[in-house]
Chain A
Amino acid sequence: GQSLEQPSEVTAVEGAIVQINCTYQTSGFYGLSWYQQHDGGAPTFLSYNALDGLEETGRFSSFLSRSDSYGYLLLQELQMKDSASYFCAVPNAGKSTFGDGTTLTVKP
């Protein structure tokens, strides 16, 4: 089976940097995806790491370490609009298993 662990809540101030961690246990691993979901909205895809290392997309970066079964999402120059839930997910055979999500609150 698949299981993913991430912190339930994180709080940071505007302009700061925050890291959201995700550890996983899977039978068969191809990569780690990240999604953002604003309250009441649909999840939107942010990034995918198939290989170890850091992938940067604007203010957001995602990191993967296969040997540690660990990844993180790094958000820089936080803005109020970044307040949302963030989910890590493991795609496998076309299906994705999601963690329970981390609620990020950005304060002024």
Chain B
Amino acid sequence: SQTIHQWPATLVQPVGSPLSLECTVEGTSNPNLYWYRQAAGRGLQLLFYSVGIGQISSEVPQNLSASRPQDRQFILSSKKLLLSDSGFYLCAWNTGATNEKLFFGSGTQLSVL
């Protein structure tokens, strides 16, 4: 069966510090991978998605970047965090055959202080 791992669960970082969130998927090959951000009480905003190694599409201009160094690994990064980067970050995957449904990781609650 397929599983998705995302860590850390909680992160408190000072403004101006770097960020690295990691997500890995097991049990499937060549998944589509996604990073979403959720503000408190709001919906999910798509930040990045990837259909293959090294292929990254950015949905909104921002202070963040994403990389996919391996087929089932997706990394969200920032060189210098802003207060506005605080939020709940969710990694997700699906396949081309099931793109109507997303499977989410457990999320990272990021607080930038």
Q: Which residues of A contact B (CB under 8 A)?
A: 4, 30-31, 33, 35, 41-45, 48, 50, 87, 89, 91, 94-101, 103
The answer to whether B106 and A94 touch across the interface, beta carbons within 8 angstroms, is no
Question: 11 A-B contacts, Cβ less than 8 Å apart?
Answer: A4-B43, A33-B101, A42-B90, A43-B90, A48-B100, A48-B101, A91-B99, A95-B34, A98-B44, A99-B43, A101-B42
The answer to whether B103 and A45 touch across the interface, beta carbons within 8 angstroms, is yes
Closest A residue by C-beta to B109: A40
The answer to whether B43 and A30 touch across the interface, beta carbons within 8 angstroms, is no
How many Å from the CB of B76 to the closest CB on chain A? 16
Chain B: interface residue total (CB-CB under 8 A): 23
Q: Which residues of B contact A (CB under 8 A)?
A: 32, 34, 41-46, 49, 51, 59, 90, 94, 96, 99-107
The answer to whether B106 and A41 touch across the interface, beta carbons within 8 angstroms, is yes
Set of chain A residues within 8 Å of B41, measured between Cβ atoms = 101, 103
Given A94-B51, A99-B43, the answer on whether A43 and B99 have CB atoms closer than 8 Å is no
The answer to whether B101 and A94 touch across the interface, beta carbons within 8 angstroms, is no
The answer to whether A87 and B106 touch across the interface, beta carbons within 8 angstroms, is no
Set of chain A residues within 8 Å of B103, measured between Cβ atoms = 45
Closest A residue by C-beta to B103: A45
In the bound assembly, the distance between CA atoms of A31 and B100 in angstroms comes to 8
Given A45-B101, A101-B43, the answer on whether A94 and B90 have CB atoms closer than 8 Å is no
The answer to whether A98 and B106 touch across the interface, beta carbons within 8 angstroms, is no
How many Å from the CB of A60 to the closest CB on chain B? 14
How many Å from the CB of A45 to the closest CB on chain B? 4
Partner of A50, one of B90, B100, B105: B100
